[in-house]
Structure 1
Amino acid sequence: MEIRLLGPVEVVAGRTPVPAGRRQLRVVLAVLAAAAPRAVPVALLIDRVWGEHPPLRAQQAVWTRVAELRKVLAGAAGEPGPLVSWQPGGYTLRVDPDRVDLHRFRRLAAAARRPGPERVTLLAAAMDLWRGTPLAGLGGEWAARQRDSWQLERLDTAVAWAREAVCVGAHTAVIPVLRDLVDDHPHSEPLATELVRALAADNRIGEAIAECRAACDRLHRTLGIGPGRELRTVRQALLSGAPLVPPAGAGPLVLPAQLPADVAGFVGRRAEIARLDGLPAAGGVLAVSGTAGVGKTALTVHWAHRVRERFPDGQLYLNLRGFDRAGPPRDPAEAARLLLEGLGVPADRVPADLDGRAALYRSLLAGRRMLVVLDNARDTAQVRPLLPGTPGCLVLVSGRTTLTGLVAVHGAPLLVLDLLPRDEARQLLDARLGRARTEAEPAAVTEIITACARLPLALAIAAARAVARPRLRLGVLAQELLDARGRLSVLSGDDPGTDLRTVLSWSYAALSPEARRVFRLLGPVSAPDLTVAAVAGLAGVPARQVEPVLAELTRANVLTERVPGRFGCHELLRGYAAAVGSEAGAPDPTRRS
């Protein structure tokens, strides 16, 4: 059995198409097949099938469509047991990914990025899987997003195939495919450039010159721009009779694999992962923000590992040190240099200034599908020079501040992490301590979760203390944590990254002096949140003067505006504020760390 998405959605048994039913059934099949072998939550299925207008009993409608799909697949596969199974995370299509043309295409394209004589054959096989417009006949926002994303992958692969074919003298086969793609995508300069090269390699110089002129005319007429560097170079060579230079980037690509190790036993964040899974796969920018210790890096790295196969040209990772004991935030020029080195640029070829480095970085990423993780960002200004200039790459940015500039200018989706729900906090402790130990003292586990304010870092530190003292009763640990005066001392570790007080101090150090003062004043307050007027009263200033300070504290995710006009923070931050406020002669507690 084969499932086809790169054209009309079809199920094929042997060589015989099997009717896949009405549109809704084909959407369910496409969603599950595109995600396989990952599970798709019911809520995500509802959104992708019906969008903003789900039926009144949407969950029952999903059950019905899944039951119908099971019958279709059972008849096609001739195998016992349902090929669509249910698990706590949602519905899963139990099928070898190579039976889905989309996944087979991606596997072949990824294999072709490794050096070897078989690259042209692999790329040709990948291109042969396309049968027209992907998801043809399916409407809706999800299908449209995926269609655009997969078409980008197709164009990138076609360009890579053409370059390899010209280099090894196998250009004849690519010319008709490139002609069709240029007709469908007339503004794709890389496609037009490779078509001109292939025609010239086939000694069809007149056609190559005509195609080059037509491409330049299209760019000028419809976009108001001239040709890029590669098309200009090809045009000049054609008109002067000089041999065409090999395409930039031809030959083996550097495939960085810089992601840190995934978090062992990662649990929770189901809703956040489902939202991330639902984003378009065509690349772009995604921002993750949240307060100190809430698990931004853990979630970002975990999800990056989850999707890295979508980006066969590799993964770049860089800690921007926005909030870090290791030193001041990385200068964008230094960050660009490190990223260029990760792409294989020799040190003596790295431009001296930021503009030159950023331009070279964008040039090297053009036409590639790469995952870039920029962790621990200070602000949008630090990140902006490190963004690719063309689609295809995905940039994941994490930081403690709310990166509204990325949202406003680059249209980046923003995921703001909150404290863990209680059930996920309990799962974290179960995973770290073992179910036998947590089930033996359920009340103590509840108290530990409360004392740690459901903050992932605090829970992880508390669990580490319990693991290091296997004979310690969890009830004793809970009592130590419930003592507000000593809680920050209990939640300490053997390095700055696992010492809660130190981690919180990095956020405090980034605040303006007035924001620090207001934050310290909130420490002794027992109320869960305060109005603007109440904060102004504490600070002894007019409300209009305290509003920008509250905005700064909120942007830094030190305070949260859970209800419009009311500001508060979790108990651990409040305890830290009280601690730094009571330290006589230590106005800047970051010196302690």
Structure 2
Amino acid sequence: MRHTLYVYIARLRGLIAAAAAADGTVAAVVRRSRGYVLDVDPDRVDVHRFRRLVEQARDPHCPDTKRVALLRQALALWRGTPLADLPGDWAARVREGLQQQRLDAVVCWAEAELRRGNAGDLVGPLTDLIAEHPLVEPLAALLMRALHSTGRTATALDCYVAMRRRLVDQVGMEPGAELQQLHRAILRGDLDQASGWGRERSGHAVPAQLPLDVHGFAGRDTELCQLDAILTAAGEEPTTVAILALTGTAGVGKTALAMHWAHRVANRFPDGQLYVNLRGFDANSPATRPDEALRALLDALQVPPQRVPASLAAQVGLYRSLLADRRVLVVLDNASDADQVRPLLPGSPGCLVVVTSRNQLPGLVAAEGAHPLTLGLLSTDDARQMLARRLGPERVAAEPRSVDDIIARCAQLPLALAIVAARAATHPEFPLGMLVADLGDSSGGLEPFSGGDPSTDVRAVFSWSYRTLSPSAARLFRLLAVHPGPDIATTAAASLIGAPPGQVRPLLAELARAHLVTEHPAGRFAFHDLLRAYATELVEAVDADTDRSAGACPRP
């Protein structure tokens, strides 16, 4: 092995010596500290020259004409992807860091060109860079400014709309405060060309990122009172951050309740409201990483990209420093687990955090003292009130028996009720009894609750929770569908999969943490009718006849 290494080193030295002789480069492979080092003049290495030129350009006393020339030289050194074809985490981190340095240099160059009145020269290069980096907001801001400065205001506004759509679709969040302010300034026609921002930009950022309140929200009076009580109690704890962990099964209305309540209490947080969709359970996108969420939060707090630290720990420290002595409401929607949430928690009192998740988040409750609030199915009265809000009280009052049948068939699940209500609202001439007949014709399946949008398709929404299960827990969930009776004991669940009770208890706990079953007193477990229907579809599609027949045991 050592002999092979020496052979490779000798070959490298020969190649480097030949190259040095050709262009006059002074370079050598030398042995140092029990290893080998390529000893070369830093000015012969493009990354060192790039950094030196950028550092000179950032000198505050450097005139813009010279600054532009220096940055053009620096950016001209880029040819393709750094460390291309080099595998490993280290190379990936270095590549990411170098790409960020390049983007920072581009932003500095473009700002200088704008100050010199050369907006027209920026449109093409910035358009190409945005195609390469479609989620980098400073690039979009510069392109909007360049377009507006050259009289293409409509195109500048279209650029904002496209960036917003990409952020919402791919990351689940609105543009940052600075980009929103720029958009408003262009709309009002009061853009300050010298600074690039509207006249409203002063003081610290006051973000207002809450999504729209839910149309037709109804009921949940008990839960709203509980949330109010927790907020009141938080004011009496001067040294802690209040954290609400709002959990429940898929489609039960966690986000709807969180948004409705957040809008009710937003005026108690004068320093702003932050919102991030963490996409813990999502059909189209992977879960948002903590560093991605932190960058979005820092952007909403008007932290320039060049000020965002590289490490996650430093980002957390900056985020918590910015929120110190401020009253901010932070909504972390659709979390996968406690580890995804922890870096996003403020460190000073005065802030309130609302976390929604299908996971019970026991770690967040135990370690961070989060207040757990499990959201159950709607009561019959709340379900009727929801339908009345969406369909009109007269229509609901005219067919009380049909309304009761709809509520029962929807298992009092808000998402299912919303889907049926939407169908009824689009056909106001149809009697509700006709919808009941359609629901009955489905033989207890989920077809009446499906649609083209995965976010409003009961089967799809359930599947996002199911896919997080371990194989053994997923099999147990499927086989629970063949058990007769409304609930099941641990011993009976063990007989379903042919395992001792000691092995089944952790699986039932996993299902309960994911809110795919509900644990009742005396160690019994149950799930509502629509989850049973989903499990039935899965067991028929996945499991063999032997599994199903083995599971058909009498109810204990």
Q: So what's the TM-score if we normalise by structure 2?
A: 0.59
Distance 2:202 2:325 in 1: 14
1:409 aligns with 2:367: yes
Matched, 1:535 2:535: no
**1:251 Cα deviation (Å)?**
6.6
- Structure 1 position 372 matched with structure 2 position 323: no
Q: Determine the structure 2 residue equivalent to 1:254.
A: 205
Out of 421, 439, 464, the residue aligned to residue 422 of structure 2 is: 464
Match of 1:21 in 2: none
Structure 1 counterpart of 2:402: 444
User: Does 1:523 pair with 2:523?
Assistant: no
- Show structure 2 runs of 5+ residues with no match: 1-200, 236-240, 545-556
Taking a change above 3 Å as real, the CA distance of residues 497 and 336 of structure 1, as seen in their structure-2 partners, is same
Q: Quote how far apart the aligned CAs of 1:486 are.
A: 6.0
Answer whether contact 1:480 1:487 (CA < 8 A) is retained: no
Query: Of 296, 315, 329, which aligns to 2:273?
Result: 315
Q: Residues 28-177 of structure 1: matches in 2 within 5 Å?
A: none
- Match of residue 242 from structure 2: 284
Q: Structure 2 matches for 1:384-395, cutoff 5 A?
A: 384-395=342-353
Match of 2:540 in 1: 582
In 2, Cα distance between equivalents of 1:484 and 1:401? 30
After superposition, the Cα gap between the structure-2 partners of 1:488 and 1:552, relative to the gap in structure 1 and judged at 3 Å, is same
Look up the equivalent residue of 2:217 and give its one-letter code. Answer: F
Q: Out of 274, 278, 293, which is 1:335 matched to?
A: 293
Deviation string 1:515-571 (CA, Å, 9 cap, x unpaired) is: 110000012334110000010011111110100000000001000012231001000
Give 1:270's aligned residue. Answer: 221
* 2:519 equivalent to 1:564: no
Match of 1:142 in 2: none
The equivalences for 1:215-254 within 5 A come to: 252-254=203-205
- Whole-angstrom CA distance in 1 between matches of 2:485 and 2:311: 51
What are the equivalent positions in structure 2 for 1:349-368 lying under 5 Å apart?
349-368=307-326
Q: Which residue of 1 aligns with 2:511?
A: 553
- Residues 445 and 534, structure 2, Cα contact 8 Å, conserved in 1: no
DSSP 3-state at the match of 2:252: coil
- For each residue in 1:32-56, what CA deviation from the matched residue of structure 2 results, as whole angstroms up to 9, or x when unmatched? xxxxxxxxxxxxxxxxxxxxxxxxx
Deviation at 1:584, TM superposition (A): 5.0
Asked if 1:424 corresponds to 2:375, the answer is no
Question: What letter is aligned with 1:315?
Answer: Q
Q: Which whole-Å deviations, capped at 9, do the CAs of 1:208-249 have from their partners, x for residues lacking one?
A: xxxxxxxxxxxxxxxxxxxxxxxxxxxxxxxxxxxxxxxxxx
The alpha-carbon distance between structure 1 residues 483 and 524, as it changes in their structure 2 partners (threshold 3 A), is: farther
Which amino acid is 2:222 matched to? A
Checking the alignment, whether the CA contact within 8 Å between 1:358 and 1:385 is kept in structure 2 is yes
Shift of 1:585: 9.0
**Distance verdict in 2 for CA 1:348–1:486, change over 3 Å:** farther
CA contact (8 A) 2:405 2:436 kept: yes
Give the partner amino acid of 1:402.
Q
User: SS in structure 2 opposite 1:567?
Assistant: strand
CA distance in 1, matches of 2:315, 2:433: 56
Alpha-carbon shift at residue 320 of structure 1 (Å): 0.3
Contact 2:519–2:526 at 8 Å: present in 1 too?
Answer: yes
Which 4+ runs in 1 deviate beyond 4 A? none
- Can you list the C-alpha shifts for 1:98-156, whole angstroms capped at 9, x where unaligned? xxxxxxxxxxxxxxxxxxxxxxxxxxxxxxxxxxxxxxxxxxxxxxxxxxxxxxxxxxx
Question: What is the distance in 2 between the residues matched to 1:415 and 1:564?
Answer: 22
Residue identity matched to 1:272: E
- Aligned residue number for residue 344 of structure 1: 302
Q: Is the 8 A contact 1:256 1:316 kept in 2?
A: yes
- 1:261 and 1:474 map into 2 onto residues whose CA distance is 29
The aligned amino acid for 2:283 is R
Structure 2 CA distance, aligned partners of 1:517 and 1:433?
Answer: 40
Q: What residue number does 1:298 align with?
A: 256
Asked if 2 retains the 8 angstrom alpha-carbon contact of 1:445 and 1:474, the reply is: yes
Q: Secondary structure of 1:481's match?
A: helix
Match of 1:583, SS state, is: helix
Question: What code does the residue aligned with 1:581 have?
Answer: V
Amino acid at match of 2:275: Y
Distance, in Å, in 1 between the alignment partners of 2:311 and 2:520 is: 43
Residues in 1 aligned to 2:468 and 2:394: alpha-carbon distance in whole angstroms: 42
TM-score (norm 1): 0.55
Given that residues 444 and 533 in structure 2 are in contact (C-alpha distance below 8 angstroms), is that contact kept between their aligned partners in structure 1? no
Whole-angstrom distance in 1 between the partners of 2:444 and 2:450: 11
C-alpha distance in structure 2 between counterparts of 1:388 and 1:425, whole Å: 36
Q: 3-state SS of the aligned residue for 1:385?
A: helix
Matches of 2:505 and 2:534, distance apart in 1: 22
RMSD after superposition: 1.7
SS at match of 1:428: helix
CA distance in 2, matches of 1:368, 1:505: 40
**Cα distance per residue 1:55-92 (max 9 Å; x no partner):** xxxxxxxxxxxxxxxxxxxxxxxxxxxxxxxxxxxxxx
Q: In structure 1, what is the Cα distance between the partners aligned to 2:430 and 2:485?
A: 33
**Equivalent of 2:457, from 499, 509, 515?**
499
Kept after mapping to 2: 8 A contact 1:480/1:486:
no
Structure 1 CA distance for aligned equivalents of residues 445 and 424 of structure 2: 15
How many aligned residue pairs are there?
A: 337
What is the DSSP-based 3-state SS (H/G/I as helix, E as strand, rest coil) of the residue aligned with 1:292?
Answer: coil
Deviations 1:236-286 (A, max 9, x none): xxxxxxxxxxxxxx9701000000000123110000001111122435111
Show CA shifts across 1:496-525 (max 9, x none). Answer: 111111111100011111111000001233
Query: Hey, what's the Cα distance between the residues in 1 that align with 2:276 and 2:536?
Result: 34
Which of 278, 283, 292 aligns to 1:325? It is 283
SS state at 2:402 partner: helix
**CA shift for structure 1 position 483:** 4.2
Q: Gapped runs of 5+ residues in structure 1? A: 1-249, 587-593
Provide Cα deviations, 1:417-452, integer angstroms capped at 9, x if missing partner.
000010000101111111221112111110110010
1:400 equivalent among 348, 358, 361: 358
C-alpha distance in structure 2 between counterparts of 1:347 and 1:527, whole Å: 58
Task: Classify the secondary structure of the residue corresponding to 2:285.
Answer: coil
